[in-house]
Amino acid sequence: MQSNSDRNPARRTTASESIVVAVAFVGIVGVGAGLRIPSLPFLGSLSRSPATSSVLPAASVPAGLSSPTIPTERAFATQQPTLGGTASPTPKATTTVVVAAGDIACDINSPSFNGGVGRGNNCRAMATAGLIDGVQPDAVLALGDNQYEDGGADQWLRSYELSWGRFKSITHPVAGNHEYLACATYDLDCSYAPRAAGYSAYFGEAAGPTDQFWYSFDLASWHVVALNSNCTNERVACGTGSAQDKWLRADLAAHPVACTLAFFHHPRFSSGQHGDDATLDTLYRDLYDGGVDVLLAGHDHDYERFQPLDPSGRADAAHGIRNFVVGTGGRNLRRGTLAPRPITEAANDETLGIIRLSLEPGVYSWTFIPIPGETFTDSGRSSCH
């Protein structure tokens, strides 16, 4: 694994900037990307093989290889991408390692807080932070509702700071609905504040422009877009012609790279408790039209991976966005709320953990890593559009 000093730092682009990035795309599909996490013996030790180039037939499914889901009581393993084309040896690609999850740190007044250690499957942000220690990533994506129950400044310093706070220097956050909440007492008398002041104060410039909280940056050959999905609670406008819509379309047009990842808090598509969020339709269409490959979200406290989807939620192997819901950062789980559908590839609502993404030129792979004592995982590999 590369040390942090050997990796490429992120370059951030805000709404006032546009940087045209030209990337020569080579369709590289590596078989058996290496991963060794000594503290997580259930993952085993995988060997690294040379990357290969792949040529796709005109109407085939994008090249990619994924390993089967490890079954548990509620692990709904389904379709996996398949490897296509004819391979020939090429040099190894540079890999950028990213980890992500949302719905992370408990309220300090929660009965399960327990000094930050948590109890059972509640308030386990320290456990998921331990997984990040094992991965040693280049970047951390905090997918919103990063601090419960409200976004008060004292909560951030006394809860989130104890766990995921130690990765603050490499964290790229987005705001969830709880970042905007103000509660008189624990989980009671809560209402939405006009601004996410505590969130903005804690992350500073890393959160993006104040009161907008959308921005973009680059991780090696990948372009990454962070969005504010607080449309339902009207903290931000997300419709056609809104400031965020205009910025997003301009940003994607200014970065015509081979591979793009986007993330926000509320999932456009979800089989969990909250379900699909139609208020995100405009932003999702922008992402689809802009050729985005991967979309991460939280909000539902479970893990779900979809087939690549078009804006109507139909499977689209050629141009669709692969959606992940990773609301498993530590707050708690909502067991029994998942109802996977035909477009779901893997789902689990009984396991806290993080997703590890390996981003290479033209290729990405994923692994869901559970907290110690749990066995569910999900992994795979695919090529960009």
* 27 has a pLDDT exceeding 70: no
Which pLDDT does position 77 carry in this prediction? 36
List the single range of 15-19, 64-68, 291-295 with lowest mean pLDDT: 64-68
Q: Cα(107)–Cα(333) distance, rounded to whole angstroms?
A: 15
Question: Comparing 169 with 57, which gets the higher pLDDT?
Answer: 169
**What would the pLDDT profile of 220-247 be if each residue is shown by its tens digit?**
999 999 999 999 777 899 999 999 999 9
3-state helix, strand, coil in the chain (%, to 5): 20, 25, 55
**What would the pLDDT profile of 308-362 be if each residue is shown by its tens digit?**
999 999 999 999 999 999 999 999 999 989 999 999 999 999 999 999 999 999 9
* 107 has a pLDDT exceeding 50: yes
Architecture of domain 4-383: 4-Layer Sandwich (3.60)
List the single range of 117-131, 159-173, 175-189 with lowest mean pLDDT: 175-189
**What is the token pair recorded at 37?**
């996490």
Q: What is the mean pLDDT of the chain?
A: 81
Which pLDDT does position 12 carry in this prediction? 59
By CB atoms closer than 10 A (0-12, 13-18, 19+), residue 325 is: buried
Which pLDDT does position 191 carry in this prediction? 85
* 101 has a pLDDT exceeding 60: yes
Question: Comparing 223 with 44, which gets the higher pLDDT?
Answer: 223
**What would the pLDDT profile of 259-283 be if each residue is shown by its tens digit?**
999 999 999 999 999 999 999 999 9
The pTM is what?
0.77
- Which helix (H) or strand (E) segment is 322 a member of? strand 321-326
**What would the pLDDT profile of 126-144 be if each residue is shown by its tens digit?**
999 999 999 999 999 999 9
Task: Give the ranges where 105-192 is alpha helix by DSSP (H).
Answer: 125-135, 153-158
* Residues facing 369 on adjacent strands: 354
Which pLDDT does position 55 carry in this prediction? 28
Residue 295 near residue 132, CB atoms below 8 Å: no
* 161 has a pLDDT exceeding 60: yes
Question: Comparing 93 with 68, which gets the higher pLDDT?
Answer: 93
Which pLDDT does position 109 carry in this prediction? 92
* Residues facing 217 on adjacent strands: 12, 224
What mean pLDDT is predicted for residues 15-34? 36
Residue 248 near residue 242, CB atoms below 8 Å: no
281-289 vs 243-254: helix axis angle to the nearest 10? 10
Which pLDDT does position 57 carry in this prediction? 32
Q: Among candidates 360, 229, 200, which has minimal Cα distance to 299?
A: 229
Which pLDDT does position 261 carry in this prediction? 98
* Residues facing 53 on adjacent strands: 28, 88
By CB atoms closer than 10 A (0-12, 13-18, 19+), residue 274 is: middle
Q: What are the domain boundaries of the chain?
A: 4-383
What is the band of 58 on the pLDDT scale with cuts at 50, 70, 90? very low
Which pLDDT does position 19 carry in this prediction? 36
Which pLDDT does position 59 carry in this prediction? 33
Q: Cα(44)–Cα(32) distance, rounded to whole angstroms?
A: 13
What mean pLDDT is predicted for residues 17-42? 36
- Whose structure tokens read 């386990």? 124
Question: Comparing 302 with 22, which gets the higher pLDDT?
Answer: 302
Which pLDDT does position 15 carry in this prediction? 45
Which pLDDT does position 302 carry in this prediction? 97
Which pLDDT does position 40 carry in this prediction? 38
How far is C-alpha 374 from the chain's CA centre? 20
What mean pLDDT is predicted for residues 298-305? 97
